[in-house]
Amino acid sequence: MTDPADLSVTLVDGYVDEPAHFGVPPYVSTYPRYTAGALVDAGVPPENVTYHTIDELRDDRHKWQDVEEADLFCYIGGMTVPGKYVGGPPAEPDEVRELAWTANGVSVMGGPVRFGVGEANEGASETERDDLDFDFLAMADVEAAAHDIVANGLDGFEDRYRGVPEETRWARQGAFVVEQHPNHPDHLIAELETSRGCPYRCSFCTEPMYGDPEFRPPGSVVDEVDALSDRGVRHFRLGRQADILAYGGDGEAPNPDALRDLYGGIREVAPDLETLHLDNMNPITVVKWPEKAREGIRIIAEHNTPGDTAAFGLESADPLVQEENNLNVSAEECFEAVRIVNEEAGWRPGEDSEARSASESRAAKPRGPSVGDDAPNRLPKLLPGINLVHGLKGEREATFRHNKEFLQRVYDEGYMLRRVNIRQVMAFEGTDMAETGADLARDHKKRFKQYKREVREEIDNPMLERVAPVGTVLPDVTLEYHQDGKTFGRRLGTYPLLVGVPGERELGRTLDVAIVGHGYRSVTGVPHPLDVNSASMDELSAIPGIGRSSAGDIVVNRPYESADEVDLDAEIADFTTVRPFESAD
């Protein structure tokens, strides 16, 4: 190939979704950042590297010229779990193939797409590998492939995995590419890797294909956060690992000292960060080593930001399904892990030690909405989430009952779950599920839909009211889309709450929101504090205790000089403010 200093390279991010890695906006995965760093390490000047998301190419056909004219074109994408995506749908196979046809230079494809090609939102499916007409399909690390093609030429290409020293260099050297992301800087969250691989071998999961976990030392991750922070990133998630509690240990047992070095180091180099969340935590780790796990969970809750979620891969509460799919945790063990996380991290910022020790206090209605990291009406620091997969070997009618009974028990005993993720299996080549496919999932699809609706109505709705009671304040909600006369938005973080605000507001702006109502998977909120001199009828009447009639009276009697002029109960007044009427909208 051309001298690396003269190469032009275009990276296109088609988005990724793996069991332990997420890269759909507002997330940016490790892949494009590490690939950019690998290119720079091989001699390509940073200014010669162009990065686009698939949504940029959808919106602006002129940007396809960067794909066409690049000496080297790298596509990154792939889903190995199905999902619904508000931030932008992952690239479809036909779009990826068109990219390959457009590129005149050498084309390389990599990421989880190497496991197979699936469709967004589709569970209950088999997938197959497809090179989609690219010159090279990186069957190991796409960043290593890009590096070696540049450094060694086309004949020097071979599939290989990068090691921790390369990862450490490439993570820092590639941090610059985030500045080219359309969400940068305010609405972008960087996915951080602490390890890949998993010591367990669940039948459907692609994560074990990376092998047993190899942990990055704390300094490597902290150095990456430092580089990203220098580039304006303020939101981070430790999501690229199968089990955050196992970090820095022997692959299974917790190592609290390593967690302390990791979280403390991140806070030191990025003191102004706005989000620090995680994703995966293995419940079997919590119950096998309860004291070490409790210490590790406390460390996380001391350093993270509110609203964090530890996704628990229960997968199924049915003992038969657990046995036939080599699942590593029983329903009883998972319940114990839920209890421990609630006890150690289910507190809200600003609560005193006595309130922290009482589950009924943690779930009680916040008093007096206020904003700030120490406000007691924020979301809990860290709660478990439950992942359930359907269509696994051995699934039967009783499976649905076992799962519902587990979730009902968690609720009835007063504990909190941030969310319940229910999906149907995708069967990938290289997993045990490839032998049986997704036939059961398809056969049970009608029952699955009914059961999913029941969980949303009977569990999700009351659980959401417990986790985020009326009066809870969500700071910095970014408004994303309009629907049915409302504006919907989310905070940045792990599994953020979807919030509907009455009226159609300017998209892209952020505002603080107080929760006033609950759906099955979303909440209704009003701007906080709500100025009664400018609030709409819909906003005022959404506040519990104010009906349309009272809202009308408030509007008719505007403007007000002070809060004393508004006849509101103290509890309702907590939601509102009165600005001097001459400055009101």
DSSP characters over 382-436:
EEEEEEEEES-TT--HHHHHHHHHHHHHHHHTT---S-EEEEE-EE-TTSTHHHH
> By mean pLDDT, which of 23-37, 150-164, 282-296, 407-421 is the weakest?
150-164
What is the CATH code of the structural domain delimited by 187-217+229-346+381-467?
Answer: 3.80.30.20
Residues 360, 407: Cα–Cα separation, whole Å: 18
Q: Answer whether residue 406 shows pLDDT above 80.
A: yes
- What backbone phi and psi angles, to 5 degrees, belong to 153? 85, 170
Using CA atoms, how far apart are residues 29 and 533, in angstroms rounded to an integer? Answer: 44
254 within 8 A of 199, measured Cβ to Cβ: no
Assign domain 1-184 to its CATH architecture: 3-Layer(aba) Sandwich (3.40)
Per the model's pLDDT, the better-predicted residue between 539 and 568 turns out to be 539
Give the pair of three-digit tokens for residue 492.
């940045």
Confidence of residue 374 (pLDDT cuts 50, 70, 90): low
Confidence of residue 212 (pLDDT cuts 50, 70, 90): confident
pLDDT attached to residue 445: 83
- The answer to whether residues 459 and 138 touch, using CB atoms and an 8 Å cutoff, is no
Q: Is the pLDDT score of 372 beyond 70? A: no
- In a 10 Å sphere around its CB, with 0-12 CB exposed, 13-18 middle and 19+ buried, how is residue 156 labelled? exposed
| Contact present, 427 and 438 (Cβ < 8 Å) | yes
- Sheet holding 27-28: strands in order across? 27-28, 189-193, 235-240, 275-278
DSSP 101-155: HH--SEEEEESGGGG-B--TT--SEE-B---TT-SEE-SS-HHHHHHHHHHH-GG
Handedness of CA 376, 353, 360, 284 (dihedral sign): positive
- Residue 583 has a pLDDT of 40
Distance CA 174, CA 394 (A): 45
- Cβ–Cβ contacts within 10 Å for residue 42, how many? 18
CB atoms within 10 A of CB 485: 10
Q: What is the pLDDT averaged over residues 304-331?
A: 93
pLDDT at 392 over 90: no
pLDDT value at residue 213: 75
Tokens describing residue 480: 């994303």
Residue-wise pLDDT tens digits, 227-238: 999 999 999 999
For the segment 321-346, the average pLDDT, to the nearest whole number, is 95
Q: 436 pLDDT band (50/70/90 cuts)? A: low
What average pLDDT does the segment 307-311 reach? 96
Write down the pLDDT at residue 390. Answer: 87
Length of the chain: 585
Residue with more model confidence, 566 or 555: 555
Mean pLDDT of 453-474: 94
Task: For residues 78-96, give the mean pLDDT.
Answer: 81
DSSP 512-547: EEEEEEE-SSEEEEEESSEETTT--HHHHHHSTT--
Note the pLDDT of residue 355: 55
Query: Minimal CA–CA distance to 24: which of 14, 11, 15?
Result: 15
Contact between residue 424 and residue 433 where contact means Cβ atoms under 8 Å apart:
no
Total Cβ atoms within 10 A of residue 583: 9
Model-level pTM?
Answer: 0.90
The answer to whether residue 375 scores a pLDDT higher than 50 is: yes
Q: Across all residues in the chain, what is the average pLDDT?
A: 87
pLDDT of the residue at 493: 94
**Cβ atoms of 477 and 513 closer than 8 Å:** yes
Lowest mean pLDDT among 218-222, 287-291, 320-324, 349-353: 349-353
Mean pLDDT, residues 559-578 taken together: 72
Task: Give the pLDDT of residue 69.
Answer: 97
Any idea which residue has 């032998």 for tokens?
Answer: 435
Q: In this predicted structure, what is the pLDDT of residue 562? A: 79
Reply yes or no: is the peptide bond before residue 185 cis, omega within 30 of 0: yes
User: Minimum mean pLDDT among 16-20, 351-355, 444-448, 532-536: which range?
Assistant: 351-355
Confidence of residue 487 (pLDDT cuts 50, 70, 90): very high
Do the Cβ atoms of 77 and 13 come closer than 8 Å? yes
Q: Half-sphere exposure of residue 135, counting CA atoms within 13 Å on the CB side?
A: 17
* pLDDT over 70, % of the chain: 84
The confidence band for 559, taking pLDDT boundaries of 50, 70 and 90, is confident
- Average pLDDT, integer, range 329-337: 97
- Which pLDDT score is estimated for 242? 85
**Is pLDDT above 60 for 100?**
yes
**What pLDDT score does 434 carry?**
57
Q: What are the extents of the domains in the chain?
A: 1-184, 187-217+229-346+381-467, 473-583
Tokens, residue 350: 């600003």
User: Helix-strand-coil percent breakdown of the chain, rounded to 5?
Assistant: 40, 20, 40
Under DSSP, is residue 475 helix (H, G, I), strand (E, B) or coil? strand
Confidence check: pLDDT of 581 > 70: no
Question: Is pLDDT of 113 > 80?
Answer: no
- Tens-place pLDDT, residues 167-210: 999 999 999 999 999 999 999 999 999 988 776 655 555 665 66
Rounded-to-10 torsion of CA 402, 407, 296, 350: -170
Distance CA 8, CA 105 (A): 10
Q: What is the per-residue pLDDT for 204? A: 57
Please, which residues have CB within 8 angstroms of residue 308's CB and are 6 or more apart in sequence?
276, 277, 278, 300, 301, 345, 381, 382, 383, 493, 494
pLDDT for res 273: 97
CB 25 within 8 A of CB 87: yes
Give the pairing of strands 426-427 and 498-502: unpaired
**What does residue 374 show for φ and ψ, rounded to 5 degrees?**
-100, 10
118-158 pLDDT per residue, tens: 555 455 444 555 667 899 999 899 999 999 999 999 887 88
Residue 255, classed as helix, strand or coil, is: coil
CATH superfamily of 473-583: Nucleic acid-binding proteins (2.40.50.140)
Q: Name the pLDDT band for 360 (thresholds 50, 70, 90).
A: very low
